[in-house]
């Protein structure tokens, strides 16, 4: 399968910018991603009129100082112009006080969302450190068939895969870096074509007896895109990327079942993962091209109360947010710079 985005990319230089998951209690989730996994809270949005808040966390290069105050216009400007990718933590006010409430972490039968992941130089040492900090695990590095990787639980029981970087330690000095979001797909040919049109490149693919994995990256220089994504060199280079990849998991045979469909994270009773999002220069022009793909929209750019942003559907019905690079006025209650 061709690795480079040789299909017609939608206009506006699309770049993958976020993965959204819903959380119960930001007082627990934000410190997990920042204090435990070393990410930075780069921005936040408060919507008291709608009773929800958003928190954006990401891995910044080791040594980079972030001095902006989350929730300010300056932080918003940074967020909507970043070249990397963040996790958007969505909190609906009051859930933290509701003992009966829990988000839906996925990974039951036919759930599409799988996990987010962080990379590190030494999985065993990293997991020992995480355990000492009170983190619990779905799978420790030496459990199960696949040795040397782990799945930790975040405060909402989302799986956070802990994976080893490439063969040369120290290429990325951070202890952890946000390294992937995994989604299950029904038909990889359709999904890969869709994401290539959103500017992504296939950096690696791995095939097994009953499933295949496709690793896609955004905003990658053409000379770093492998000619053969199944080669050993592609695996090594993919492991040393600083910015995250989108891992598409295909269980063989689903593409031939006309009745098969994954739950997309927004179904009633299964709400956890919400969407992934892309920045573009012009939302309207981008959506005109996306519309031609024929998968439809959850929200058109002028639909609803928030004009100028859209939610498209990918081939599996996942929500794909399309956001103007530079941002729009969202109507949030902004903070003053410190």
Q: What positions carry a catalytic annotation? A: 161, 321
Rounded to an integer, what distance in angstroms lies between the CA atom of residue 56 and that of residue 79?
Answer: 8
Which three-class secondary structure state does DSSP give residue 182?
strand
| List of residues 6+ apart from 144 with CB closer than 8 A | none
Q: 315, 293, 291, 314: which is closest to 301 by C-alpha?
A: 291
| Cβ neighbours, 10 Å, residue 68 | 18
Q: 228, 222, 144, 130: which is closest to 175 by C-alpha?
A: 130
Rounded to an integer, what distance in angstroms lies between the CA atom of residue 282 and that of residue 324?
Answer: 6
DSSP 239-283: HT-SS-EEEEEEETTGGG-TT---B-S-STT--SEEEEEEEES-H
Query: With contact defined as beta carbons under 8 Å apart, do 186 and 248 qualify?
Result: no
Structure token pair of residue 310? 């859209």
Residue 119 vs residues 20, 126, 153, 206, 262: alpha-carbon distances, Å: 19, 10, 15, 18, 27
């Amino acid at each position: 399968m061709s690795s480079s985005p040789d299909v017609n990319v939608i206009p506006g230089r699309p770049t993958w910018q976020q993965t959204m998951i819903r959380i119960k209690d930001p007082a627990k989730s934000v410190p997990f991603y920042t204090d435990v996994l070393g990410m930075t809270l780069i921005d936040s949005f408060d919507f008291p009129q709608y009773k929800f808040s958003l928190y954006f966390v990401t891995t910044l290069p080791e040594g980079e100082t972030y001095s902006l105050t989350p929730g300010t216009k300056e932080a918003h400007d940074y967020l909507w112009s970043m070249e990397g990718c963040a996790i958007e933590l969505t909190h609906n006010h009051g859930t933290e006080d509701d003992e009966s409430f829990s988000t839906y972490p996925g990974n039951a039968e036919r759930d599409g969302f799988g996990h987010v992941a962080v990379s590190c130089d030494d999985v065993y040492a990293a997991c020992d450190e995480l355990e000492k900090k009170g983190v619990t695990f779905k799978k420790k590095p030496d459990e199960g068939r696949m040795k040397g990787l782990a799945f930790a639980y975040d405060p909402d029981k989302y799986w956070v895969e802990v994976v080893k970087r490439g063969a040369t330690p120290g290429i990325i000095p951070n202890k952890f870096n946000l390294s992937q979001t995994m989604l299950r797909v029904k038909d990889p040919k359709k999904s890969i074509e869709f994401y290539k049109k959103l500017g992504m490149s296939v950096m690696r693919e791995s095939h097994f007896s009953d499933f295949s994995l496709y690793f896609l990256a955004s905003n990658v220089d053409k000379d770093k895109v492998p000619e053969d994504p199944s080669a050993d060199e592609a695996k090594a280079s993919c492991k040393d990327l600083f910015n995250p990849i989108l891992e598409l998991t295909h269980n063989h045979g689903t593409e031939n079942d006309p009745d098969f469909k994954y739950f997309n994270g927004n179904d009633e009773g299964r709400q956890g993962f919400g969407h992934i999002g892309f920045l573009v220069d012009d939302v309207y022009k981008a959506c005109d091209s996306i519309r031609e793909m024929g998968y439809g929209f959850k929200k058109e750019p002028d639909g609803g109360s928030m004009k100028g942003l859209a939610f498209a559907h990918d081939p599996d019905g996942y929500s794909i947010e399309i956001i103007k690079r530079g941002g729009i006025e969202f109507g949030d209650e902004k903070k003053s710079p410190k």
